[in-house]
Amino acid sequence: MALIKKSVTGMKDILPEEMFIRDYLINIIKKTYGSFGFTSIETPAMEHIENLLSKQGGDNEKLIFKILKRGEKLKLENIKDENDLVDAGLRYDLTLPLARYYSNNQANLSNPFKALQIGNVYRADRPQKGRFRQFTQCDIDILGEASNLAEIELILATTKALSEIAKGKHFSVRINDRRILMAMALYAGYDEDNISNVFIILDKMDKIGMDGVKKELTELDGEEKCSKYLSLFEGLKDNTEAVLSLKDKLKGFIEDGVLEGLCEIMDTVLEVNTNDFSLVFDPTLVRGMGYYTGTIFEVSMEGFSGSVAGGGRYDKMIGRFTGNDTPACGFSIGFERIITILLDAGFKIPDESRKIAFLYEKNIDGNVLKDILKEAASLREAGNIVLVSKMNKNKKFQKEGLEKQGYTEFKEFYREALK
């Protein structure tokens, strides 16, 4: 069987120049989130299949890379269906593994617990630009905090990180609440069993527009409910006044304090914020994960059509493991999408350190090499980055490659000149 050089479809090899940028961004993310008190943790890439198929991951549960049972557990003669073949899968996000992690280790964690996770996740998706089957997610979550402080801190921390990562790029935070979405659908007369289908159609607003949504909602459950539902969106602005304007119509369909709570989050973030971004109420924001129970948010950035970050509150997930509901809220940065934006823009790391390459001719005297290494060590002690490497035959090509990695200074050592 011949070996294959190309990476598996939907996954990619990362060349040094991109890896430098990825490491640079991860350092910014860790430093920024660390300044808010978030603590780094790590969970396994593999999860129990029962957890992954718990009907909390929305459409992502259709994209799981499932893992065969091994050894004695794999008894082919007893196979009746797919579930008899698998007992684990690769995680499709970092939230479900965090809920299991917290449930298993809660006694050893602070309360509330502020978690930072950076790791690869896997989805058997259709690959396209900025979308892969293996990709990195950067999540922050606050577990055990029921108040709006969780949402406020998550938005402030994430917008701070994005401002540091993509300086000069304008971005906008859209915010909504699943309870508002539910109340609006109930007000229009939709049955609870059908509301998930209403959300699926509403979530297409960016792609098919209001006319497309109206057409599909009418086909779903008639024109009367559709008209009553969409009337709630007419003339609705994107500020806190718009949120409170829904109070009278949604009375009896939404619990007290939800609308006021969303306004408190928005007002506080805008008052405290020190970064340049927009924060708007978007009543059409749905987010596809089935585990969201309250506030939801997404971030869009100029130069990219999709969202670059998103999250929300999921107060019921941990209770599925422990039997006791635990307040939980998280925000995830779309790391790969941001990398795509920066690479397309020709992003260069703003590094103050000098990057110097020492290139020496082969067969150089051993004592001379020691002197070269001593000089390199001295420059490193002064805060510079110094590469020592043997000179290639095609020196021009070698230097061009090093320039792509950010090296701006070169010093060459030849046998003849050093005699």
Q: Rounded mean pLDDT of 374-395?
A: 92
Express each pLDDT in 71-109 by its tens digit: 666 666 666 677 778 889 999 999 999 999 999 999 999
Sheet bearing 409-413, strands edge to edge:
385-390, 355-360, 409-413
Residue pair 155/173 in contact by the 8 Å Cβ criterion: yes
Into which CATH architecture does domain 16-45+91-345 fall? 2-Layer Sandwich (3.30)
State the pLDDT at residue 417: 58
Lowest mean pLDDT among 24-28, 42-46, 131-135, 252-256: 131-135
Enumerate the domain spans of the chain: 16-45+91-345, 355-413
- Is 156 annotated in some ligand binding site? no
Residue pair 115/229 in contact by the 8 Å Cβ criterion: no
Comparing 180 with 403, the larger pLDDT belongs to 180
- Is 68 annotated in some ligand binding site? no
Q: In whole numbers, what is the pLDDT of the chain averaged over residues?
A: 89
- Is 414 annotated in some ligand binding site? no
State the burial class of residue 36 (Cβ atoms within 10 Å of its Cβ: 0-12, 13-18, 19+): middle
- Is 292 annotated in some ligand binding site? yes
Residue pair 48/87 in contact by the 8 Å Cβ criterion: yes
- Is 92 annotated in some ligand binding site? no
- Is 95 annotated in some ligand binding site? yes
What does residue 63 show for φ and ψ, rounded to 5 degrees? -115, 20
- Is 162 annotated in some ligand binding site? no
State the pLDDT at residue 86: 86
- Is 102 annotated in some ligand binding site? no
- Is 291 annotated in some ligand binding site? yes
State the pLDDT at residue 168: 74
State the pLDDT at residue 130: 66
Model confidence at 125: pLDDT above 90: no
State the pLDDT at residue 122: 95
